[in-house]
Amino acid sequence: MSDLLTTEEYKAIAASLVLPQNAFIDGGFRPAISGKTFTTTNPATGEALTEVAACDAADVDLAVEKAREAFEDGRWSRLHPAKRKDVLIRLARLMERNARELAVMESLDAGKTIFDCETVDVPETIHVLKWHAELIDKIYDQVAPASDNHIAMILREPVGVVGLVLPWNFPLLMLAWKIGPALAAGCSVVVKPAAETSLTALRVAELAVEAGLPRGVLNVVTGSGADVGEPLGRHPDVDMVSFTGSTVTGRRFLHYSADSNLKEVVLELGGKNPCIVLDDAEDLDAVAAHVVNGAFWNMGQNCSAGSRLIVHRGIQDALMDRIKAHAREWILGDPLDPQVRVGALVSPAHFGKVSAYLKAAQSETILLGGASPANGFIEPTIVQTARDSKLAVEEIFGPILTVIQVASFEEAIAVANDTEYGLAASIFTANGKRALRGARMLRAGTVTVNSFGEGDISTPFGGYKQSGFGGRDNSIHAHDQYTQLKTIWLDLTDHSDAGVD
């Protein structure tokens, strides 16, 4: 990534951006059929950014129809894998050329810090697309063991038309996590971005066509969950939906599927992720840096945020001093200031939700923060609670870390697993056996030892329990979501030999 600019330079870019407004269907922008729009705002300032097409079921029908046409005529689904790869690589390169514009657009639309957009969201999005592009012409199908008279082939075929329903916390990155493997597999897609953060998905769709993606293969339908998400989930001609968001909405997609065509559903849902620090953890300063990053990165609006610190009582005081010192270094303020690490929460509605938790924290023991210095902004806050308090149990999705004290390894694991979620977990200890034993006992899709993290594109991402369903994002396993297996049996018996001497 190139060097960061000054706030003034970012503001100049922001002022010059041409923001997309219309939905992207069949290779071009078009307004909602109803003509309706909604206003998307900058959550850091409350100012309107632009009007965006408020689509509904009619637009979903059109996008699905165009995606189906594209899928059936094979313009993408039957294109040679190496050619599909070339197009996606060209898209990644175009995004590199427009990286700064995408970073500023993302920051304005979502309240995310420009530092994160420039150093993580945009480069990681490009990396993910390249990774899946590179995979396209390296996946081989299988031949099963069979008798000498048979060949049994197991082929992967694209699942068809897929609906991709995205959250607002990583608009670009979650787009890439889903369109990367879906397009690589040869599917046609209809993307429904979160209404709050639709802009960058629209811009990427435009760049994709510039990169040579045939029309109809990547459609973006903007609008609310009720008006666009539900019709997509219920659509009889959508073969599969991959969703990232809340557990409540994820559950609805299972109903939509059951009520319609039994489309496949993959759900990547919430988390209340434990971060265990045992009393033999080494380098407490490094541990503290991980804990702070896990809890406050992206303002805690991260399904895999390490939002529950479970700490051994023998080490708590020493650790908390270091955690507080690190957290104080996270400057809160204007997201377009490259020094800032804590930007705005995504919307007034979400700010209201997190503020209610902040209010609840006032009756617990606040160890750091606890205030909202301005509308839309919440200080990194650390609260000591009982393991069953509302703050320790519910997904807050904001910069509030709860701390629970334990007295043993066994208690730490029991507290960690005492949740309906199971997305991610971390364990810090110098004892290798306890680390591995703990990692195996933790009921979570990803466990990091002596660090906090989600892994990277090469490893599967998804949850146990109510954190996930039906498949995994990232890695070669993501392709399982977007492909289905076809078995072909060939009978090689040569019947012409019968009766011949």
Ligand X SMILES: CCCCCC/C=C/C(=O)O
Residue 266 within binding range of ligand NDP, rule CB under 6 A: no
Helices (H), 189-239: 199-210, 230-234
Of 472-501, binders to ligand X (CB under 6 A) are none
How many separate helices (H) and strands (E) can be counted in the chain?
Answer: 17, 20
- Select from 385, 415, 381 the least CA-distant residue to 274: 415
Q: Is 283 left (phi over 0), alpha (psi -120 to 50) or beta?
A: left
| Residue 454, contacted partner among ligand NDP, ligand X, none, CB below 5-8 A by kind | ligand X
133 or 305: CB nearest ligand X: 305
Q: Which CA distances in Å does 451 have to 129, 275, 277, 291, 329?
A: 26, 9, 10, 8, 19
Select from ligand NDP, ligand X, none the partner in contact with residue 397, using the beta carbon and a kind-dependent cut-off of 5 to 8 Å.
Answer: ligand NDP
Measured from the CB atom, the residue of 14 and 174 that comes closer to ligand NDP is 174
Kindly tell me which residue out of 27, 181, 214, 245 binds ligand NDP, with binding defined by CB under 6 A.
245
Q: Residue 280, SS3?
A: coil
- Cβ contact 416:440 at 8 Å: no
What residues from 234 to 293 belong to the interface with ligand X (CB under 6 A)?
244, 268
268 is catalytic: yes
Give φ, ψ of 481 to 5 degrees.
Answer: -60, -40
Nearest CB to ligand NDP, comparing residues 175 and 327: 175
Q: How far apart are CA 470 and CA 244, in angstroms?
A: 12
Task: State which of positions 103-132 bind ligand X (CB under 6 A).
Answer: 120, 124
Q: Tell me whether residue 59 or residue 230 sits nearer to ligand NDP (CB atom).
A: 230
The entry of ligand X, ligand NDP, none that residue 124 binds, CB within 5 to 8 Å by partner kind: ligand X
- Whose tokens are 């979650």? That residue is 174
Quick note: the x/- pattern for ligand X over 142-181, rule CB under 6 A, is -------------------------x-xx-----------
- The residue (of 64 and 194) whose beta carbon lies closer to ligand NDP is 194
Contacts within 8 Å (CB) and 24+ apart, 327-330: 327/292, 327/296, 327/368, 327/369, 327/380, 327/382, 328/368, 330/292, 330/296, 330/380
The 3-class secondary structure across 44-61, one letter per residue, is: CCCCEEEEEECCCHHHHH
Please list every residue from 400 through 439 that binds ligand NDP, using CB under 6 A: none
Binding region for ligand NDP (CB under 6 A): 165-169, 192, 194-195, 224-226, 229-230, 233, 244-246, 249, 252, 269-270, 303, 350, 353, 395, 397
Binding region for ligand X (CB under 6 A): 120, 124, 167, 169-170, 244, 268, 302-304, 454
Catalytic residue ranges: 268
